[in-house]
Amino acid sequence: MPWEDFVYKLLFDLVFKKMDPEKAHHLAFFWIRLASSVPGLRGLVRLVLAPRDRALRTDALGLALPGPFGLAAGFDKNAVGIDGLSMLGFDYVEIGTVTGEAQPGNPQPRLFRLVEDRALINRMGFNNQGSARVAARLAARPHTSSTPVVGVNIGKTKVVEEADAVADYVKSTERLARFADYLVVNVSSPNTPGLRNLQAVEHLRPLLSAVREAADRTTPHHVPLLVKIAPDLADEDIDEVADLALELGLDGIIATNTTIGREGLRSDAARVAEIGMGGLSGAPLKERALVVLQRLRARTGGRLTLVSVGGIETAEDAWQRIVHGADLVQGYSAFVYEGPLWCRRVHKGLSARLRAGGFRSLAAAVGSAVDDRTAA
Ligand SMILES: Cc1cc2nc3c(=O)[nH]c(=O)nc-3n(C[C@H](O)[C@H](O)[C@H](O)COP(=O)(O)O)c2cc1C
């Protein structure tokens, strides 16, 4: 094991593992933000950790990105550490989920590690400062040439009735769309009661149409709109969402969120049962996330931007998603287990695979294992 990996494993075992996972998250995030606020340090760290391989550069959603690998929603819910996260090498950062109104989320404890499974279970419940405050924070950010791409992920305020969900998403859109490089309608978190019902096309159609309209009303430029779906959808429902996305002219789909399933875990069953409700993420999600991606690709044939997330730990995992049709990839849980050098490792591995496969660009590798572009 390289020494720098050994240092993080030691830090994880001696410090983070002994702490409540949510407290460990806040501590690690505090350090990241602190480091990125030191004059000169941010650029220096970025120089070492961020990708420099031109072949990894990619255009997706009309955005020029230094690479395909982003931080998934949920880590920076309030957009407080975008520059620090970009310093660590993420090619883009998806903030949120942000809801119409501020809310505290579920009672703690609400985040749990399953170390043997390299997984997490969370029932955070969209704890966030609300769309008005997050919009003000994004508005205050200076824009420079090194400002990373920022996706904004929105969801429903818990106390808002399902019947009023559209208005809540529209409120967030009106406040946030102008600051978003892309916008994500999250209808797939298992921790807000009823939220996932919005994935049914009869609910999703008016919701996505209203968000699209609100975004177009509030910004003169086109903000790419994506929908984020659950891995627990039946295959036919995945097809229906894909068809709807095409019908409505959506820009893409993010798949997947966490699962309510608990199959195939190595962790002690009694402990898993004791943890209780929540979304499972990390390695156990790998297989299903790939299957969902393959299904989406087969249905959409390269006509939508596909963002694959769920169980990506290594460069090989990210590569698998790319060759099966993912234009972009994201991760969250493995960041906890792999530490601050994670992005560098993934980028290095991706560069090596591009070269070994004789691909001149990342775009050339996207979907190369399915080769269905002419059929679409
Ligand atoms: C603690 C935690 C909080 C999360 N919060 C959100 C969220 O607010 N919105 C969202 O769309 N996804 C959220 N997610 C899901 C992730 O964005 C991602 O879809 C999922 O964890 C699968 O990726 P992974 O296996 O790489 O973690 C959260 C995940 C975790 C572990």
Whole-number percent of the chain with pLDDT over 90: 87
Give the pLDDT of residue 17.
Answer: 87
- Indicate the domain borders of the chain: 3-371
| Nearest-angstrom CA–CA distance, 174 and 256 | 25
- Cα distances from 27 to residues 37, 75, 85, 103, in angstroms, run 15, 12, 14, 21
Tell me which of 128, 228, 281 to substitute to probe ligand 1's pocket, judged by most ligand atoms within 8 Å of the beta carbon: 281
Ligand 1 atom at minimal distance to the Cα of residue 334: 26
Residue nearest to atom 22 of ligand 1 (CA): 310
Give the pLDDT of residue 373.
Answer: 56
Ligand 1 atom at minimal distance to the Cα of residue 97: 8
Per-residue confidence band for 375, with pLDDT thresholds at 50, 70 and 90: very low
User: Which contacts (CB < 8 Å, 24+ apart) does range 141-149 have?
Assistant: 141/82, 141/179, 146/43, 146/46, 146/86, 148/82, 148/83, 148/85, 148/86, 148/90, 148/91, 148/92, 148/93, 149/63, 149/65, 149/70, 149/91, 149/92, 149/93, 149/181, 149/182
Per-residue confidence band for 342, with pLDDT thresholds at 50, 70 and 90: very high
Phi-psi region of 99 (alpha: psi -120 to 50; beta: other; left: phi over 0): beta
Residue nearest to atom 19 of ligand 1 (CA): 257
**φ, ψ (nearest 5 deg) of residue 116:** -60, -25
Helix (H, G, I), strand (E, B) or coil at 330: strand
What letter represents residue 243's amino acid? D
What is the C-alpha radius of gyration for the chain, rounded to an integer number of angstroms?
19
Whole-number percent of the chain with pLDDT over 70: 98
CATH architecture of 3-371: Alpha-Beta Barrel (3.20)
Give residue-wise pLDDT tens across range 309-323: 999 999 999 999 999
* CB 293 within 8 Å of CB 308: yes
Give residue-wise pLDDT tens across range 199-249: 889 999 999 999 999 999 999 999 999 999 999 999 999 999 999 999 999
Residue nearest to atom 13 of ligand 1 (CA): 74
* CB 234 within 8 Å of CB 310: no
* CB 58 within 8 Å of CB 354: no
Listed in order, strand segments (DSSP E) in 25-114 are 58-60, 63-65, 69-71, 92-99, 111-114
Compute, in degrees rounded to 10, the torsion defined by CA atoms 69, 74, 75, 80: 110
Give the pLDDT of residue 176.
Answer: 98
Name residue, tokens 């190369």. 368
pLDDT at position 158 over 90: yes
**Ligand 1 mean position to 376 CA, how many Å?**
31
Tell me which of 129, 258, 329 to substitute to probe ligand 1's pocket, judged by most ligand atoms within 8 Å of the beta carbon: 258
| Nearest-angstrom CA–CA distance, 153 and 225 | 10
Please list the active-site residues: 189
Give residue-wise pLDDT tens across range 284-338: 999 999 999 999 999 999 999 999 999 999 999 999 999 999 999 999 999 999 9
In the structure, which protein residues have their CB atom closer than 6 angstroms to any atom of ligand 1? 72-74, 77, 96-97, 111, 120, 122, 124, 126, 153, 186, 189, 228, 257-258, 281-282, 285, 309-312, 331-334
**Ligand 1 mean position to 113 CA, how many Å?**
13
**Once rounded to an integer, what is the mean pLDDT over residues 189-198?**
90
| Nearest-angstrom CA–CA distance, 34 and 221 | 34
- DSSP secondary-structure letter at 310? S
**Ligand 1 mean position to 281 CA, how many Å?**
7
Cα–Cα–Cα angle for 256, 261, 262, nearest 5°?
125
Window from 52-56, 228-232, 270-274 with minimum mean pLDDT: 52-56
Tell me which of 275, 332, 333 to substitute to probe ligand 1's pocket, judged by most ligand atoms within 8 Å of the beta carbon: 332
- Per-residue HEC secondary structure of 142-206 comes to CCCCCCCEEEEEEECCCCCCHHHHHHHHHHHHHHHHHHCCEEEEECCCCCCCCHHHHHCHHHHHH
What letter represents residue 326's amino acid? A
